[in-house]
Amino acid sequence: MAKIIELPTFKDDRGTLTVIEKELPFRIERTTFMRPIQNDRI
pTM, two decimals, is 0.48
Task: Give yes or no for a contact between 8 and 18, defined as CB atoms under 8 angstroms apart.
Answer: yes
**Given a cut of 60, is residue 40 above it in pLDDT?**
yes
**Given a cut of 60, is residue 25 above it in pLDDT?**
yes
Task: Give yes or no for a contact between 25 and 2, defined as CB atoms under 8 angstroms apart.
Answer: no
- The phi and psi torsions of 40 (rounded to 5 degrees) equal -80, 0
Residue scoring higher pLDDT (5 or 21): 5
Q: How far is 13 from 31, CA to CA, in rounded Å? A: 24
End-to-end CA gap in the chain: 38
**Given a cut of 80, is residue 13 above it in pLDDT?**
yes
Q: How far is 18 from 16, CA to CA, in rounded Å? A: 7
**Given a cut of 70, is residue 12 above it in pLDDT?**
yes
Q: What is the pLDDT of residue 19?
A: 79
The pLDDT confidence band at residue 20, using thresholds 50, 70 and 90, is confident
